[in-house]
Structure 1
Amino acid sequence: MITRRELLKQGALAGAGLAIAGGMPGLARGSNHRRVTIAQGVDIISWDPYGHSVSTNYGQWLHVMEALVSWDYDRKRYVPSLAESWKAEGNTWTFGLRRGVRFHSGDPLTARDVAYSYERIKRSPQQGAVMREVREVKVLDDHTVQVVTHKPAASFIARLTNRVILSEQAARKDGADMDRHPIGTGPFRFVEWVRGSHFTMRRHEGYWGSPAQVDTLVWKPIPEDAARVTAIESGGADIISNVPPHEVERLERHPDIRIDKIRGDRIMFLTLSPRFKPFQDRRVRLAMNHAIDVDSLIKFVLDGRAYRLVGPVGPSVFGYDPSLKPYPYDPARAKQLLAEAGYPNGFEVDFHSPSGRYLKDREIAQAVAGQLAKVGIRARLITPEWSILWSEFTAGKYNFVQIGRGDVVDGDEYLTQYFGTNVTKRLGYSNPQLDRLLDEQRQIFDQDRREKVLQQAVRLIHEEAPCVFLYNFQDLYGSRKRVTWKPQPNEYILMWRASLRG
């Protein structure tokens, strides 16, 4: 294992201390105690729920817009949201919609809105893969919609928890103006979005479910760790995400602050896209896995606030295989593999990483670059603004990227999204044997049998090493004690369930 001193020598922790700009406009709490301000590391990318696939966006969209079903982490099952009932028969899923639900525009929710939304998702360059199995969406009556797939699709319901339903009438009217006028059925109504500054929601008084205690909800992007900490200490923010691990003990001593912790389901990894010639060789991909000391990254950069991953999914995910063994940190073996692959002197590669999106992401990237340098791989670290990085990555323009995939309950969608042939442009990976396994498990409704096939896919991905799989985070939130809420493994900060005091 690499020591902290060695990491420092490699420059892994350089630049970790970030200066705080004088003043933080717009962070004053105001007099309304039912107003809650949340500070996260990045801004929302868009209010088009089908234009992007980012967990922070979903956690915000779901306050305004809702899906047919949701996943209950406590009960470990899918539960009703806009759909009260559903059943699967062969290649047909039938959903019965909740009655009496209205959009914020006043229009009633009908099966036509569901059909419109799902057809729109099918056409989306970013999310179309989610509905690639869908042959047809049928409106049976105002409150019954039927989804017909090309083949039986046992995991289809897992794809629906984030696929929110739009008002067909409002969406056709507003078109590309959805960033200014998102209309949903959720517990909060959209008020305004000032890009890079804040966006504001207010409680929807006509919500079909239990009303939120929070009247006004303000989300603010604050990329710098130190600035988010200052915001929670000053009362300028009520909740912050990604508390720096070294600040946890100090903040826990603050009389008005609580640290909320949970093991997240986000899978952090480094992509090794075959678009970059060296990564086409499995020996190079294995060398990358042996060259990176994941345990040291967790211990010294993340202060132990993460859980090492072995393979592409963690233990909370359907499809996890506990028999897998990690690639050991072995620089000598990495050099040997590189030489066998024809790269005795290593190679240069652009390394794209976010800064502020994930916990200690810049510092992790610096540490990884330092470790790779020890085996001759010269990684040029590039840290674009998050929205640019995400857009370019999903367009297939980056090859070696630090990225995370959150909200993973069932491994099927994530594994297909990143490793299925021609499903998305993110990785550009193709393996016919893997495609067959993923297709096979998707058609098996017996969950024990399906999981065994999915585990075969997980083992194959681990053996072929198209990525360096790193860890799940221990998600750390700072909360003012006047706000009581329950973190979820998917990183969603859900305020319609929060309670307030004072």
Structure 2
Amino acid sequence: METTDIERAFLDKIHTIQFSRRGFVQVATRAAVAAAVGPFILPGRTLAQAQRPVVVIYGVPWDTLDPHNHIATWIESITGNMFEQPVEMSSPIDPVNGWRPLLATSWKRLNPTTMQFKLREGVKFHNGEEFTAEAVKFTIDRIHGRVHKEFKGAVLSYYRIIDRADPVDKYTVNVITTQPDPILLNRMSGFHTRIVPPKYYATNSLAHVATNPVGSGPYRFVSWVKDGDLVLEANEQYWGGAPDIKKVIFRTASEPSVRVSALLAADADLVHAVPVEEIDFINKSGKAYVSHTASNRVALWRLERHKPPMNNQKVRQAMNYAANMDGLLKTVYGGMGKRVSTMVGAWHFGHDDKIPFYPYDPNKARALLKESGVSLPIQINVHTIQGRYPKDKDMAEGIAAEVSKLGKDYVSTKVTVYEWGTHLKRQNACENDGITHNSWGNWMFDADMILFPWLHTLPSTDPGAACRPAKPEWDRLIDEARTTLDQGKRKKVYSDLQRQLWDDPPFIFGHHVADIMGVSSRLAWKVRQDEMVWLKEARFKK
């Protein structure tokens, strides 16, 4: 990702300031940092806490504010301050009993393919439209392309099972699925079920609503300068009570040093993806603190089995034995991550804690490479990104280094770093061989949400279909689990599937990605496991 003009100007200013051994600004006075981070100070405002809006800085930009036209967790987080859905998940996550009422006050299953929702009365969208069952129907119709033929939801593949929403009365709606759906509540908790006002979204262009969003949430849209500030203000008529923070500004800074410096200069209040090595420094600064957790997102390194040498099962097993994941999480990741034994997160429904982690065993890895029948040594290319997740590039380089320790008679490695967009395009075009960095934010908190999109057979015309690690038996198990309402049976199916994955690994199984947020000392706020930054949960300290 390219550095913005503002960031370049900032870095030009601070390059002569004394840097710490880790490469981040440490200065003796507040004035020195304030001079360096001038671009982040709001024109015409003082630095008094009571006079400043809350500033949130992400490391990656957003290109739309349409809640139904993106696949990005950080956009979901931002739009979640303006839009709401029928239900939400508690924090900490409980994928079985953690569902809480939001725009729906209650729900019940009428039959295997129908769930009825009672809706909250008296809620209005920010433009004055009333929230009713018709808004739920409209939202489902919109993602299916029934409102604008040229528009369908960006992640419609996860919502096709929802056929329609039938209003029963003004505040009752039946959601109908094409087959029994055990995770319908999960689907109703975000992304394509963020409810929009029908009149506004039906009569305005797609381009207009993408840059002028209207929801019913605790914050309303004020302005957005593309590649610049996004400004929100508190919805004083919010049904849940007006939020404590009255004005919020979202900004982007791809350089971690810029984000950290703005935080310590009191020119930012929440900053995303704080480097692990800066946690102690920030906590001791007296100006900010770090809130972190092992997040909902799982990091995996895909073994590109559509091309040699990863088309060999024993080679793929060898990579898992050689990766030394425990060691990397300790030395590179600062002990912040939590390992996964396969693909399903530790607190996601379907996780089987009886499945072991691959141990670090380089001798076993060498033996498997010898048994594989491939011509040794093998060349392994490692494809990664930088700056999207904590230590993404460092972990990829660490895996390459660990694999290289098998010896030059067995393997050689090469790491290539891509910009985020290029990384995605290469995967969709099946251009990579060797090992590719991936991650997945399982916001449905269920095994289906990672196993179906990553393993199930795709139509041949879909992006990435040719390099999908699908197998007929895996398809069968995934389909069985996603169409039975018996959660005990589902758990058994997922356990069986994960044992197959352990034996025939499509990935180097990794870890929960750490969500590490820097927080201003003037705020009371705790990071969530689901990567969401909801300002209604933040408070000014007394």
Q: Same fold per TM (> 0.5)?
A: yes
Partner of 1:459 in structure 2? 499
Report matched runs for 1:396-411 at 5 Å: 400-406=435-441, 407=443, 409-411=445-447
CA pair 125-335 structure 1, distance change in 2 beyond 3 A: farther
Match of 2:125 in 1: 103
Name the counterpart of 2:376.
344
Query: Could you tell me which amino acid in structure 1 is paired with residue 131 of structure 2?
Result: L
- Determine if the alignment matches structure 1 residue 422 to structure 2 residue 458: yes
The one of 67, 72, 94 aligned to 1:49: 67
TM-score by structure 1 length? Answer: 0.88
Shift in Å at residue 341 of structure 1?
A: 4.6
Partner of 2:264: 233
1:267, 1:472 within 8 Å by CA — same for their partners in 2?
A: yes
C-alpha deviation, 1:119, in angstroms: 3.2
Q: Structure 2: which amino acid aligns with 1:162?
A: G
- Cα gap change, 1:342/1:396 in structure 2, threshold over 3 Å: closer, same or farther? closer
Q: % of aligned pairs identical?
A: 26
- Verify the 8 A CA contact 1:284 1:341 in the aligned structure 2: no
Assess, with a 3 A threshold, how the Cα gap between structure 1 residues 138 and 58 changes in structure 2: closer, same or farther. Answer: same
Map of 1:171 onto structure 2: 201
Alignment match, 1:117: 139
Matches of 1:52 and 1:389, distance apart in 2: 17
Which consecutive residues of structure 2, in runs of 5 or more, have no partner in the other structure? 1-20, 26-32, 146-151
Write the distance in 1 (CA, Å) between the matches of 2:126 and 2:421.
Answer: 28
Report deviation, 1:320: 1.0
CA distance 1:409–1:216, change in 2 (3 Å): same
Distance 1:451 1:218, change over 3 A: same
> Separation in 1 of the partners of 2:510 and 2:38?
37
Decide whether aligned partners of structure 1 residues 459 and 381 sit closer, same or farther in structure 2, where only a CA change above 3 A counts: same
1:280-315 CA-partner distances (Å, limit 9, x unpaired):
332232232223121221111112121222111232
Q: What is the rounded CA distance, in whole Å, between the counterparts of 1:395 and 1:128 in structure 2?
A: 21
Q: Among residues 260, 284, 293, which one is paired with 1:262 in the alignment?
A: 293
Shift of 1:458: 2.5
C-alpha change, 1:390 and 1:318, in structure 2 (3 Å) is: same
The 3 A distance-change label for structure 1 pair 239 and 129 is same
Give the corresponding residue for 1:11. none
Which residue pairs with 1:13 in the alignment?
A: none
Check whether the contact 1:18–1:224 (CA below 8 A) recurs between aligned residues.
no
Q: Deviations over 1:103-137 (max 9, x none)?
A: 21211123232223223334547311211222333
Within 5 Å, which residues of 2 pair with 1:36-75? 36-74=54-92
Select between 57-66 and 410-419 the one with higher mean Cα deviation: 410-419
Residue from 184, 205, 220 that aligns with 1:189: 220
- Map of 2:322 onto structure 1: 291
CA contact (8 A) 2:379 2:412 kept: yes
Counterpart of 2:351 in structure 1 is 320
Counterparts of 1:242-391 in structure 2, within 5 Å, are: 242-339=273-370, 340-349=372-381, 351-374=382-405, 375-384=410-419, 386-390=420-424
Whole-angstrom CA distance in 1 between matches of 2:412 and 2:144: 40
Aligned-partner SS, 2:296: coil
Of the structure 1 ranges 75-84 and 132-141, higher mean CA displacement relative to structure 2 is found in: 132-141
Are 2:107 and 1:86 aligned?
A: yes
Residue 479 (structure 1) shift: 1.2
Alpha-carbon distance change, 92 to 177 in structure 1, aligned in 2, over 3 angstroms: same
1:265 match: secondary structure: strand
Larger radius of gyration: 2
Cα deviation code 1:129-163 (max 9, x no counterpart): 21122233323333232222222111121122113
Deviations 1:425-466 (A, max 9, x none): 456231222222222222333333332222222222232211
- In structure 1, what is the Cα distance between the partners aligned to 2:438 and 2:385? 8
How far off its partner does 1:348 sit?
A: 4.7
Kept after mapping to 1: 8 A contact 2:87/2:189: yes
- What is the CA–CA distance in structure 2 between the aligned matches of 1:177 and 1:65, rounded to whole Å? 17
Counterpart in the other structure of 1:7: none
* TM-score normalized by the length of structure 2: 0.82
1:489 is matched with which residue: 518, 526, 529?
529
The code of the aligned residue for 1:402 comes to: H
The answer on whether the counterparts of 1:408 and 1:414 sit within 8 Å (CA) in structure 2 is no
Per the TM alignment, residue 70 of structure 1 is displaced from its structure 2 partner at its CA by 0.4
In structure 2, C-alpha distance between the alignment counterparts of 1:391 and 1:207, rounded to whole Å: 41
Match for 2:100: what amino acid?
Answer: V
Once the two structures are TM-superposed, the CA of residue 391 in structure 1 deviates from its matched residue by 6.0
Alpha-carbon distance in structure 2 between the residues aligned to 1:430 and 1:174: 39
Quickly say closer, same or farther: Cα 1:85–1:470, change in 2 above 3 A. same
TM-fit CA distance, 1:398: 5.4
Structure 1 stretch displaced more, 190-199 or 359-368: 190-199
CA distance in 2: counterparts of 1:59 and 1:395, whole angstroms: 28
Which residue of 170, 182, 194 corresponds with 1:154? Answer: 182
Counterpart of 1:83, as a letter, is A
1:118 partner letter: I
Using a 3 Å threshold, how does the CA distance of structure 1 residues 430 and 134 change in structure 2: closer, same or farther?
Answer: same
Shift of 1:261: 2.8
Alpha-carbon separation, structure 2, partners of 1:66 and 1:388: 32
Q: CA deviation at 1:268?
A: 0.9
Query: Separation in 2 of the partners of 1:394 and 1:211?
Result: 43
Q: Which is worse superposed, 188-197 or 225-234?
A: 188-197
CA distance in 2, matches of 1:234, 1:259: 15
| Residues in 2 aligned to 1:395 and 1:54: alpha-carbon distance in whole angstroms | 20
Contact 1:265–1:408 (8 Å) recurs in 2: no
Corresponding residue SS for 1:264: strand
Contact 1:267–1:404 (8 Å) recurs in 2: yes
Equivalence for 1:412: 448
| Secondary structure at 1:63 match in 2 | coil
Give the corresponding residue for 1:4.
Answer: none
Q: Decide whether the 8 Å contact of 1:202 with 1:215 is kept in 2.
A: yes
Q: CA deviation at 1:100?
A: 1.7
Gap change, CA 1:114 and 1:410, over 3 Å in 2: same
